[in-house]
Every structure is written in structure tokens, then in C-alpha cells.
A and B are shown apart, each in its own frame.
Chain A
Amino acid sequence: ETGVTQSPTHLIKTRGQQVTLRCSSQSGHNTVSWYQQALGQGPQFIFQYYREEENGRGNFPPRFSGLQFPNYSSELNVNALELDDSALYLCASSPGGDGDEQFFGPGTRLTVL
């Protein structure tokens, strides 16, 4: 069974640019959540996708957007990058159903210069 994978592992961008981060969910999982973890903080919920539909969103501006594909993999897109967007971006998948824990990928470290 393959776990959650994310690409790329590291990324450097400049202010104003756009970035796309990718996540492959664990086999059999239909729900994907994205989190932003700033240095010294806990992960903060960005949004969640369930069967290709957005299913909840945290306190992030619209320039953070996402997609989920029929194979349940997902993308996180961030437009007009700001310095404060520098963080570790974590993707987590879950099989769906009440109380299921989320399984996290290793994350993508984004640096905005």
C-alpha cells in the first residue's frame, strides 16, 4: 500500500509568482485535506476535497485554490505569492467516514523570496 506522496519536496519562488503543489492520496482514500505549517506553528487547515468537490475551507484568501481529480489526487494552487506564504504545505488523505484519522504526506517546503 502506497502512502501519501507530495511533489515537489522543495520549491523556491519570488513574490507575485504562482505555484502548484501536488499530492497523491493513499490508495482507497477519497478525501484530501491541505494544511499550511509555518515555522514554529501547528498545521493550519486550508481546505478539503471529497470526491472532487470542496468540502470545507479554512481562513485563507481566494488566491489559495485547489482541485481533486477522479483518481483522488489533488493540487494546491497559490497565486500572487507573498513572503508570508513561505511554509511547509502538507497534504493529508483519509478514507472517509466519521472519525477516520488523516494520513499525512511529507510536505512541500515552499520558500518565497
Chain B
Amino acid sequence: DQQVKQNSPSLSVQEGRISILNCDYTNSMFDYFLWYKKYPAEGPTFLISISSIKDKNEDGRFTVFLNKSAKHLSLHIVPSQPGDSAVYFCAASGFPGTYKYIFGTGTRLKVLA
């Protein structure tokens, strides 16, 4: 049972354009969402997070949007840069007393120069 889904395994975007990565979840108990970026041979690196009490969080070129009614979140990267090429994982949390994350399967982003 995949509680966090990233339905696009890959995405290619031209440098300078917007990258939009999507994530859907099924468990309404999730109350904290995160995006991680992973380069080959490295562990995932935290990128940005959002609490369920917000619908938008922005950090530089990265913005995460949360639509609780649709159980959907998205990560926008503007402008996209070749160094953003990586696998992006969406993760959700909501288990009181623990920090258990449920990850999606990832989207491989390729930013073309």
C-alpha cells in the first residue's frame, strides 16, 4: 500500500524554466511533508518542508505547495539549473512520538543546459 506516490518517474526541463514535481498521499493523518534531493552515491539531502497548517512555503528558488483537500503537494523550482539534476523524494510524517517518514518512489529531474 503506497501511501505516498510520485507518479512521474522522470522529468526533463530546460535550464532557466520552471520544474514542477508532484506528490500525492492517501493518509489524512500526515501533518508534515518534506522534499529531499538525492545525488548518486550520496544520502538524501533535506530541501524544504511544509506543515499541514500552511499551504505554501518558500525558500529561495524552491517553493512547496500543499493542497490538503486534494492530498497533493508539489515542489516548484524556479529557475531550474543543471545542478538541480537529481532524484527528488517526497516524504510525509504524522506518527505522534516518532519521526517515521514515508517516502515516495522519487522523480528523476534532468535540467538541460
Contacts and interface: CB of A to CB of B under 8 A. Distances in A.
A90 B43 contact: yes
Interface stretch (A11-19, A61-69, A93-101): A93-101
A55 B95 CA distance: 11
Contacts of B91: 42
Contact of A102 (B4, B95, B99): B99
A101 B41 contact: no
B102 interface: yes
Interface of B: 4, 6, 32, 34, 36, 41-46, 49, 51, 89, 91, 95, 97-106
A55 B97 contact: yes
Contacts of A33: 99-101
Given A56-B99, A102-B46, A106-B41, 8 more contacts: A33-B101, A42-B4, A42-B89, A42-B106, A45-B100, A58-B100, A100-B99, A106-B42
Nearest to B104: A42
A81 interface: no
| 7 smallest beta-carbon distances between A and B, as pairs | A104-B43, A42-B103, A56-B98, A101-B46, A104-B44, A43-B103, A42-B105
Interface in A27-74: 31, 33, 35, 40-45, 48, 55-56, 58
A99 B34 CA distance: 10
B34 to A, nearest CB: 6
Nearest to A103: B46
* Interface residues on chain A, size class: 20 to 34
Determine which residue in A4, A42, A48, A100 has the highest number of CB atoms from chain B within 10 A of its CB, and name it.
A42
A56 B43 contact: no
A104 B100 CA distance: 13
A101 B32 CA distance: 10
B103 A106 contact: no
A94 B4 CA distance: 22
A107 B100 CA distance: 18
Contacts of B42: 106
B28 to A, nearest CB: 18
B95 A56 contact: yes
